[in-house]
Structure 1
Amino acid sequence: MHRAPALNFLLVTVFLDMLGLGIIVPIIPALMTTVTDDPATAVYWSGVLGSTYGVLQFAVSPLLGRLADRYGRRPVLLASLTLLGVDWLAHAAGPGPWTLLIFHALAGACAGTNTVVNAYVADVTPPAERASAYGRIGAAFGLGFVAGPILGGLLGGIDVRLPFLAAAALSFAGVAYGWFVLPESRPGDRVTSLSLRTSNPVGAIAVVLRRPVLGRLAYARMASDIARMTHQSVWTFFLAYQFLFSTTMVGVVMAVSALAGAVFQARAVGPIVRVLGDKRAAVIGTLISAAAFAGTAVASTPAQLYTLQAVGILGSIAGAASQSWLSGVVGPDEQGTVQGALTGIGAVAETVVPVTAGAVFAWSLSYATPGLIFLAAAAFTAASALLLSTTPAIREPA
């Protein structure tokens, strides 16, 4: 198989996926207000839509991973992108919140992009090159995050539904590109079972967590996901409260950080991980991230903040190294299954953590300690580093 066209497609897919999601971020409040005719109701329905997406992603991701092992990566990935495009069209044309809820739930149930992309990378890249490939995937993710909100804001100024049409067009463009360009990395074996034990989210996650090596890596991923979502959930509020940044300044800080992180992941992560190895790079990167979170908790000047953001970017080697390590622990016949379970774990964090972190942050403001939430993120990250450091770097049988 020619790896370059496949990896290029995955990079384009992740970029378009994040660009499409980023486009609609600035517009969701205006759209929901238009649909519901009431700001308070709009906030309620926005929360319901987000939670529904996360719950359905948790419920169905293990099944999608299993399907990717049984029938191949390509059909699952193209189906996921197609249904995401349909969801954006529904947002553009939907007459009411219940219509949006149905289609958004469908998109969450078919949100298999990350699951299949991670499995696909493991299929087409040798172990020594996986960290570099996963770093490039992370870079595409970051670039989409930078460009999406900017484009969404510009299009939303023309018409509130136009960004959703643009997001749908990008999704369908990805489908067309994949249909003609993407080769199948693993045709499937038709032997992989679709039992209830391995396809339901609780059973699939339990199977992964019970395995000695893979389970420890999954728990480490869970702790990192909690820290990551904690940071994402309160970051803009923290910048506004602690440093009195304007909305424009918040956007600039986030965009510059995301762009710098994308460049670092694309250019530096691969060489660093090749020198350190997956395990050492994962542990060191996670410890660096923990230090950045702890420092942010007590940062009091913009200069300190920018320095800590730079430190946090260095810590991004952990994500690619951990993903590379995970892909090497399991065999090619279960990459999709394991990645689906891990996506399910991440979906739990994305559903539960924002509410919890928001409540803790609001409580901390009563005591003028807005950085307290980042100490919690640092603690979870340190726990992840401990788990990684005590996990043997070996492959285990299924």
Structure 2
Amino acid sequence: MNTRRALAFIFCTVTLDCLALGIMLPVLPTIVLGFMGGNTAGAAEAFGVFATTWGLMQFLCSPLLGALSDRYGRRPVILISCLGMGLDYIFMAFAPSLTLLLIGRIISGITAATIATSFAYIADVTTPEERAKSFGIVGMGFGLGFVLGPAIGGLLGGFDPRLPFWVSAAACLINAAFGWFVLPESLPPERRMAFAWKRANPVGSLKLLLSHRQLIGLAAIDFIVNTAHQVLPSIFVLYAGYRYGWNEATVGLTLAFVGVSTGVVSGFVVGPAVKWLGTRRALLVGLAFGCLGMVIYGLAPTGEWFWVGVPVMALWGIVGPSLLDLMSRHVSESEQGQLQGANSSSRSITGLIGPAIFTTTFAWLLGWLPGAPFLLAALLLLLAACVTWLVTAAAPADASS
């Protein structure tokens, strides 16, 4: 297989999927707010239920899809996921009530397996030495998707809050068609693993993360980092509207700025940073910038100050590819899908607890310190940096130096 061509295919897949997700970001909380009669605190709690439910579905289904990709290949899992998301966005576009919108979100949580399987795809086609850089390049697809998606979603939402759902559906269905014709399989039959329910259930899949002492520590870091990350999708839109009076268009443009900054870091900074600093120092530097960015977000008195924190926060993007690189080195080639499914299950747990923590904090402290959720996230990243310092101190030279 031509590795460059395969990475280009998966890059396009991730970009289109993130485009579809990004288009909805500026409008979904607003729709929930409309169903709640304009009650911001109530909408925050309801949106927390949405996010928690989505995380629960990811927790239950990600290891199953990861195990299926180890057995039947990455390609069918990616294509089915894209098709399912496209049909689900159509369902949500028609949803006339909060309950039906929640059902659509549940289906979205079940089908949104493309990202984890895409990382397994990358592990299949790259060498360990190139893996962090490749994860970073594909991470640039996230950035591009979130550059165009929120901007489009914000602008379209100004005309009709449901219109972004239709555009998201079109992006996912186009992606499925694109993948059908051009996405090659990355896992040959001789490297596939027999399907077993003990690895496909959430508890069984997490056992893989306990199979190696350092893998346990890396999984703990990933868990803390992703818990902190939940603050952004959980309360950002409501926070920006409450504190700065931003409308859908301004929120969309801000998220586009976040996407540009993240894309630059993922595509052009991750590889050189890991090569220059070494994985351990790159992790610590990325966590330090993430912590500082959260503090700026939480204390910013104006929207302009919030924007100052965006490029600072973007350097947090060094962390993810470095962690994925280190974790992928501790499992066999036939277990890469299971590893990514286990990672998704772990992150799904953060999707269960994170939104509840941050939306509740936001609702309770709304009139006193609305930026409290971001400050709490900063403390979590500081904790992650401490764990990183301890876990990677005795790591092998090729992984941590």
Describe how 1:76-155 pairs up with structure 2 within 5 A: 76-93=77-94, 102=103, 104-155=105-156
Describe how 1:1-398 pairs up with structure 2 within 5 A: 1-28=1-28, 49-93=50-94, 102=103, 104-156=105-157, 161-189=162-190, 192-209=193-210, 211-239=212-240, 244-247=244-247, 249-300=250-301, 305-366=306-367, 368-391=368-391, 392-394=394-396
Give the CA deviation at 1:142. 1.9
TM-score (norm 1): 0.86
Moved more, 301-310 or 383-392: 301-310
Letter in 1 for 2:395: A
Structure 2 distance, partners of 1:299, 1:211, is: 42
Give the CA deviation at 1:52. 3.2
Q: Is the 8 A contact 2:149 2:256 kept in 1?
A: no
SS of alignment partner, residue 393 of structure 1: coil
Q: Is the 8 A contact 1:5 1:182 kept in 2?
A: no
Cα RMSD for the two superposed structures: 3.2
Structure 1 distance, partners of 2:299, 2:64, is: 43
Residue identity over aligned pairs, in percent, reads: 36
Give the CA deviation at 1:202. 2.1
Letter in 2 for 1:261: T
SS of alignment partner, residue 234 of structure 2: helix
Q: Is the 8 A contact 1:128 1:274 kept in 2?
A: no
Q: Is the 8 A contact 2:14 2:141 kept in 1?
A: yes
Work out the number of aligned pairs and report it. 392
Structure 2 distance, partners of 1:354, 1:23, is: 20
Describe the shift of the 1:212–1:245 C-alpha distance in structure 2 as closer, same or farther (beyond 3 A): same
Give the CA deviation at 1:270. 1.3
SS of alignment partner, residue 395 of structure 2: coil
Structure 2 distance, partners of 1:233, 1:100, is: 17
Structure 2 distance, partners of 1:359, 1:96, is: 23
Letter in 2 for 1:388: T
Gaps of 5+ in 2: none
Q: Is the 8 A contact 1:71 1:190 kept in 2?
A: no
Give the CA deviation at 1:304. 5.4
Structure 2 distance, partners of 1:301, 1:101, is: 33
SS of alignment partner, residue 185 of structure 1: coil
Q: Is the 8 A contact 2:26 2:237 kept in 1?
A: no
Structure 1 distance, partners of 2:331, 2:149, is: 34
Structure 1 distance, partners of 2:274, 2:151, is: 32
Letter in 2 for 1:163: P
Structure 1 distance, partners of 2:375, 2:87, is: 40
Structure 2 distance, partners of 1:138, 1:130, is: 12
Structure 1 distance, partners of 2:186, 2:212, is: 26
Q: Is the 8 A contact 1:143 1:262 kept in 2?
A: yes
Letter in 1 for 2:213: P
Gaps of 5+ in 1: none
Give the CA deviation at 1:164. 2.6
Deviations 1:153-202 (A, max 9, x none): 44455555543332222112111211121111113458634333321112
SS of alignment partner, residue 315 of structure 1: helix
Describe the shift of the 1:63–1:241 C-alpha distance in structure 2 as closer, same or farther (beyond 3 A): same
Deviations 1:208-266 (A, max 9, x none): 14531111111100000011112443334444555x35335544433223212212321
Give the CA deviation at 1:87. 0.9
Give the CA deviation at 1:335. 0.8
Describe the shift of the 1:175–1:293 C-alpha distance in structure 2 as closer, same or farther (beyond 3 A): same
Structure 1 distance, partners of 2:202, 2:155, is: 39
Q: Is the 8 A contact 2:225 2:380 kept in 1?
A: yes
Letter in 2 for 1:90: F
Give the CA deviation at 1:11. 1.4
Describe the shift of the 1:106–1:287 C-alpha distance in structure 2 as closer, same or farther (beyond 3 A): same
Structure 2 distance, partners of 1:134, 1:350, is: 22
Q: Is the 8 A contact 2:70 2:192 kept in 1?
A: no
